A and B are shown apart, each in its own frame.
Chain A
Amino acid sequence: MKKIFFISIAVALLSSACNDKSFLTNEPTSILTTDQVYSSSELAFSVLANLYNGYVDQQTITNWAEFTNFDEAFPSEAGNYWRVQQINYPYNWWSLWNYDYIRNINLFIQNCQASTKLSDGDKTQFIAEARFLRAANYFELVKRMGGVPIITKPLTYDYSGDPTYLQHPRAKESEVYDFILSELDTIKNILPDDASIQDRATKGVCLAMQSRAALYAASIAKYGVNTPSVNLPGGEVGIPASMANAYYEKSRNAALELINSGKYHLYMKHPDDLATNFAALFYDKSNNPEVIFAQNFKLKSGTVEAWTLNNQPRAIAEEAQGGRLNPSLNLALQYEKLDGTYAPFNTDSDYANEGDIFANRDARLAGTFILPGSQFKGQNVDIWAGYILPASNNTIITSNVFGGQAQLPGKNYKEQVVGFSGPIDGLEFSAQTGFYVRKFMDPATGSGQIGTQSEVWWVRYRYAEVLLNIAEDEFELGNNDSAAMYLNQVRLRAGLTIPLTPSEITFDRIVHERRVELAFEGHELFDNKRWRIADKVWNGQQISAQDLFNNIGKASAPNTMIYGMWPYKIYQPGSINDGKWIYKVLKPNEVTAAHNFQLGNYYSQIDQGILSNNSKLVKNPNQ
């Protein structure tokens, strides 16, 4: 009886459940369908915003350690010392194969096109922006990998068991550059021509990207002869030399169009303090006429960046954090004297003030570096390595803790004998090269606090780079007059008032100007690659400080090991030298290896898994 009762209830339950089939077709409450997303301008825009998030940078302010791989700066954090201790760059560094991102962009374009509810204005604008991001990503791919398959439609597998129709061979390197340039040509006239839009695609950034991309292609074509083995017979890597001039002209024309539009200018809000002016260019986000395209951050919105937190001087840090990026003496030496000559810092004489050794230099030095004897956020950064005693055989009295104390001879008490920012060799977060970084550092209160951080943006394209691009184009095309004119605009802003004459413009000059102007903006590696001098700059040979002094301003001089320069206070009571400063050049002890850029590093390795999946791909040379 019981059994029958249960069975009948079960049957009743089951059959009742099946009666109403509408529950199977309920709309999900937590998922938006494609139709819903592309019927609303706001929702489609949020998808686009996510695509902006996928923009790839090799070095960026949210990834400080990447700046220390190329002897621009020393990584003052124990977990990153290996970067100055490894010899070879692995072949798969800088590898990129983000076809998932490209698929997302292609899908976005397809869905926007198919949408019947988006307004025409929104549609064209969104699609143009997505195409801009796609072009930017192909630029990033071709820079790293050489020619890659150009995919402009979302590919979908049909489950037929034969995926070969999804396999595409690599395009020629020049074809990828051509694709980028022609895409930008098309969309630059659709996108807004508005210099006040700085974190979304505009006509301005299309032109700036064209000038950079065409310049890359041109120099690969021109300088490829110097590395004949970095080539593939199918043109996947390497561009014929005969194409160089056309690319240089393309780059010049794009730059010229941007310059002639008159919408962008060099930042010049602090003409009386050019170093601060140069530093402010990167953190001033209100009416900044120089920034063309940047990744934006916003306080109290979850999108903040920690560059200032990571790199603030330890003496005045707002948390027990900071001091990680120590720019190298190698880089500091590149900044000219105000009369336009190269000169090493004079470490033979002593100075009344700590910062005097850096006086009368290119303003970009103090704009890029936090120098000993200077201030950040209105406070002394306190970088000095100890007391030196000339009377007793130049003995040094110092300590191995921040602001450590010791007793000087003739005194009966202990006092501070080393700066609260160091430098102390091997002590992480201290200025182990004697310098901290200033570029992109946020002077706002709270920027060094974990809970606040910073909304300083990451500048990807700016007007000064366009000027340097066109200067290089004009130089390579044989027009030294206009090359000098554009170069001098940038140099004038740096306080170098004696203009370069056309006959002084050389390849070394162009390389040098980019190195000092664009330091810590992610250009060094890719510039050296396209000029085909990377294997000479990072040649695996140990260098001495004297080598550095002898080779200032030489483009392909070896730069394989990081050096630093430390200030010491003279302790010689009764002498006029007492309390003066002298400097010593040294190599941090953690720097043990000389960086070696192999020919196989010119183009990064394509992962074996990718090669296995697509037999039409060819490997990159020398790997």
Chain B
Amino acid sequence: MKYIKFYKKILVIGGLMSCFNACKKDNYAPPTNKFTGRVVYQGTPLGLKNNNGGTVYFELWQGGYGKSGAINVYFNQDGSFSDLLFNGTYKMVIPTSQGPFMSIENPETHTDTIPLVLTGDKTMDIEVMPYYMINNAKFIIGADSVVTASCSVKKIITDTNAKDIQFVALYVNRTDFVDDNNSFVSNTIAGGDISDMNNLSFTAKIPTNIANANIGVGKQNYFYARIGLKIVGLDDMLFSDVVKVSL
């Protein structure tokens, strides 16, 4: 009986000790440096697609730690990003063919690689060269639940790298995640059918029964709308800001 008690004590003490030891030795502090910013063209953030945390990303590379592999940081649909990182020296690069834009040569590296030194929180806008910009996107809901949208499109890259427009489209959705995959009503103008790039307009009627929308049924008197632009030969689309429209 006495022995059993003794062993119990040892077990308890040993258990406690191993707990404390584990906390001290096995774990180290998580990264705390907040690295935030936006992807911009001349200060204006670019609208992108948001699909489970984004589809457009840039890579952060940090040398000297064994196997090579990038940290992928995804852009939100308003062009912003944020990540928690350790202090250190990183190289930042947007992989070619990511996003509806091209990287700009960095004055320091003379490539598209951007050097990044983190010693604490940092906010940084990434300047890029979009193929197009969508300007003056306006949305009005008129009589009979018809959304009327208008915008102008400006071609930014006009040299040999220029790409054509595949289509421009108005998307309307019930939540503020709006893009080509998340919309219950849309209206598309093919690239070849655009006559005046400064004056594009769309109409789309919000159906009374949206049971077949991918987000369920419900009565709602406000919606979110957005204009998207698909560029020939690129996966990622360019979008305007998401705008809330009320019936």
Binding site for B on A (CB under 8 A): 87-88, 227-229, 540-541, 592-594, 596, 598-600, 608-609, 611-613, 615, 619, 621-623
Contact = CB atoms under 8 A, between A and B. Distances in A.
A60 B200 CA distance: 48
A593 B233 contact: no
Q: Which 7 A-B pairs have the closest CB atoms?
A: A612-B67, A598-B235, A622-B97, A87-B181, A229-B233, A612-B68, A599-B235
A598 B233 CA distance: 10
Given A599-B97, A609-B67, 17 more contacts: A87-B51, A227-B233, A229-B233, A229-B234, A541-B180, A592-B214, A593-B214, A598-B235, A599-B235, A600-B235, A608-B70, A611-B68, A612-B67, A613-B67, A621-B96, A621-B97, A623-B95
A540 B166 CA distance: 14
Contact of B181 (A228, A540, A600, A611): A540
Contacts of A596: 181
B93 to A, nearest CB: 12
Nearest to A601: B235
Contacts of A598: 235
Contacts of B235: 598-600, 622
Contacts of B180: 540-541
A229 B69 contact: no
16 contacts: A87-B181, A88-B51, A88-B181, A227-B233, A229-B234, A593-B181, A599-B235, A600-B97, A609-B67, A611-B69, A612-B68, A615-B68, A621-B96, A621-B97, A622-B97, A623-B95
Contacts of B51: 87-88
Interface residues of B, number: 14
A613 B69 CA distance: 10
A608 B233 contact: no
Interface string B60-98: 000000011110000000000000000000000001110
Interface in B193-218: 214
Contacts of A228: 233
Interface of B: 51, 67-70, 95-97, 180-181, 214, 233-235
A608 B59 CA distance: 13
A593 B214 CA distance: 8
A608 B72 CA distance: 12
B173 to A, nearest CB: 13
Nearest to A85: B214
Contact of A229 (B95, B97, B214): B97
Nearest to B183: A542
A600 B235 CA distance: 8
A611 B68 CA distance: 8
Chain A CB count within 10 A is highest, among B69, B70, B233, B235, for B235
Contacts of B181: 87-88, 540, 593-594, 596
A577 to B, nearest CB: 31
A88 to B, nearest CB: 7
A510 to B, nearest CB: 25
Nearest to B66: A612
Contacts of B214: 592-593
Contacts of B96: 621
A619 B96 CA distance: 11
